[in-house]
Structure 1
Amino acid sequence: MTETAPARTAEQRKQDTLDRLAGEVDAWVATAGPEGGAPYMMPLSFLWRDGVVWISTRETNPLARNLLAGGTVHLGIGRTRDVVHVIGACDAVPEAEVSAELGDAFAERTGFDPRATRGAYVYFAVRPVRIQAWREANELTGRDLMRDGKWLVEG
């Protein structure tokens, strides 16, 4: 039988979430087509910077098309038994409009530089609207750390 660790405090869960956003590189990114279209999910590398999750993908990718049409995204970061779930609103930033500083930071953090590839890439600034984090069933209550873009926990 697996022993479950005690539930973390909300403050610890928020700090662990911020550490994960700053320390992880990859997320599962899920979108849906406009007007009830088919869901689409793929792994992408990301950069957490100034409260924004930055992702980039080829402009012709179904994920990019969905984001350009709808602007809502779900991100799953971490293992299923220690997950951060981010629901965000996206703003598209064409590759040509990405500052050199942001492009360099993204490339350094992710190990991938969309500017150095062939084909049109678009960056998306994902602004978290809702963030949840939990490890086990004992953390399901209180898993919301952010709602409507505002942290529910101080510190």
Structure 2
Amino acid sequence: MRERKRDVLELLGAARHTWIASGDGGGPHLIPLACVWDGTRVAMSTRAASRTVRNLRRPGRARLAFGSPVDVVLVDGDVAIAEPDAVPAETRAALAELPLNPERVPGCVYLFVTPRRVQAWRHMGEMADREVMTNGRWVV
């Protein structure tokens, strides 16, 4: 399990894209977004008027999917939506590589997902022990 947690943290640190799932009364919505892991949360940016942002304003929760079908990491977490001026300068500098950077693209906001539950597996044999974070705490 310790190795799997290490693998998850390595994948999050290296990932530059994720799939983010949100939903509303009309059903689920899934899109890819560029991302950056800051060690405690996944940061992304998108247009403030997007369906994703509208969906996330109410429940404030999302699911992120990383990896491939043979190396899956799912992150369920709390979402904070932030206008550019509400984010500290050092954080904005760390997120400068995001393609829809609110510093350069008007009408964009930051999305920060703080993991509450993380599941990870590579094959059916790992399904039973796939939960590596529960209630915001690493299992190992």
Pairwise TM-score range, normalised by the shorter structure? over 0.9
Residue 37 and residue 111 in structure 1: after superposition, are their counterparts in 2 closer, same or farther (change >3 A)?
closer
Amino acid corresponding to residue 113 of structure 1 in structure 2 = N
* Paired amino acid for 1:13: R
The answer on 1:17 being equivalent to 2:8 is yes
Q: Do residues 133 (structure 1) and 124 (structure 2) align?
A: no
Give the letter aligned to residue 114 of structure 2. Answer: R
**Which residue of the other structure, out of 104, 117, 127, is the alignment partner of 2:105?**
117
Any idea what SS the aligned residue of 1:73 has?
A: strand
Partner amino acid, structure 1, of 2:27? A
Q: Distance in 2 between matches of 1:131 and 1:144?
A: 6
Query: C-alpha distance in 2, partners of 1:50/1:132?
Result: 17
Residue in 2 aligned with 1:68?
57
Distance in 1 (alpha carbons) for counterparts of 2:39 and 2:73: 18
CA distance in 2, matches of 1:30, 1:64: 11
**Which stretches of structure 1, 4 residues or more, deviate above 4 A after TM superposition?**
none
Instruction: Check the 8 A contact 1:84/1:132 in 2, yes or no.
Output: yes
Cα distance in 2 for partners of 1:117, 1:111 equals 9
Out of 18, 22, 26, the residue aligned to residue 31 of structure 1 is 22
Shift of 1:86: 0.1
Q: Which runs of 5+ in 2 are unaligned?
A: none
What is the number of equivalent residue pairs in this alignment?
A: 140
Output the amino acid matched with 1:127. Answer: T
Instruction: List per-residue Cα deviations over 1:87-112 (Å, max 9, x = no partner).
Output: 0011111122122221221123x455
Partners in 2 of 1:144 and 1:50 — Cα distance? 19
In the alignment, residue 117 of structure 1 is paired with which amino acid?
V
The alignment status of 1:48 with 2:37, answered yes or no, reads: yes
Paired residue type of 1:98: V
Preserved CA contact (<8 Å) 2:101 2:108: no
Deviation at 1:122, TM superposition (A): 1.4
Instruction: Give the secondary-structure state (helix, strand or coil) at the position aligned to 1:27.
Output: strand
In our comparison, the structure showing a higher alpha carbon Rg is 1
Amino acid at match of 2:108: Y
SS of the residue corresponding to residue 114 of structure 1 reads: coil
Per-residue deviation at 1:113? 2.3
Q: Could you tell me the percent identity over the aligned residues? A: 36
CA RMSD of aligned residues (A): 1.3
TM-score, length-normalised on structure 1? 0.85
